[in-house]
Amino acid sequence: MLNNQESNGRVVGKAERQKRLLEIVKVHPVGTQTELTSLLASEGIQCTQVSVSRDLRELGLVKHAGRYVTPELPPGQADIEALGRSISPFVQAVQPVGENLLVVSTRPGTATTVSLILDATKWPGVAGTIAGDDTIFVAVHSGDVGRAVVDRLGQLVNKSL
C-alpha cells in the first residue's frame, strides 16, 4: 500500500509511515510486526504486515532481546558498512552548494528515511538535515566538513559523487 489514510483524512505516505514506525520502536518495546501494525493503526495509519516488514528492512531495524530496535551507533563512530547498506539503495547524488550546505538527492519518497539515518550518525561538524520527498539539505559547519561528508557519502553508496 503506497499511501495510508489517517482518520482525519490526511494521506500518509511511506516516508511518514516509516518516520512514525521509528518513533514507535524508540518508545515502545515492540516484539512483533503484528504489534507494530496495531500501534500504527492506533495512530490512524492503516497498513499491512507486509508493508511493515518491508519498512523494517529498509530502515535497518533489528530485533534485539526480543524487541525491535534502531541500530544505534556511538556518537561520531558511524559504522561505514552498516550505514552504506542502509542508504545506498536510496542516495542518487550529493553535491556541495556553498560553504555550509550540501544537497543529497534520493529516490522519491526516501529522503526522510535517509535524513533520519544521517542524523543518527552524529557526524562531527554536521549541524543537521532537512528532508523533503527526494531532497535533503545537510547543514555543515565548514567547507572542509562539507567536502569530507561528500567524500564519505560517495564511499558509502559506492558511487563517484
Does the pLDDT at position 100 exceed 80? yes
**Which of the two residues, 19 and 120, has the higher pLDDT score?**
19
**Percent of the chain with pLDDT strictly greater than 70:** 80
CATH 1.10.10.10 domain extents, the chain = 3-69
CATH topology of domain 80-156: Gyrase A; domain 2 (3.30.1360)
Q: What is the pLDDT of residue 119?
A: 82
CATH code at 3-69? 1.10.10.10
The b/e string for 70-91 (b: 16+ C-beta within 10 A; e otherwise) is beeeeeeebeeeebbebbeebb
Whether the per-residue pLDDT at 93 is higher than 80: the answer is yes
Q: Which of 27, 32, 142 is nearest to 96 (CA)?
A: 142
Residue 134 has pLDDT above 90, yes or no: yes
Is the Cβ–Cβ distance between 119 and 129 less than 8 Å? Answer: yes
Is the model's pLDDT at 105 over the cut of 90?
A: yes
Q: What is the pLDDT of residues 39-77, one digit of tens each?
A: 998 888 888 889 998 888 878 777 777 888 775 544 444
pTM over 0.75, yes/no: no
Domain with CATH 3.30.1360.40 in the chain: 80-156
Q: What angle do CA 40, 2, 31 make, to 5 degrees?
A: 30
| Cell numbers representing residue 25 in the block | 520502536
Choice between 133 and 8, residue whose per-residue pLDDT is larger: 133
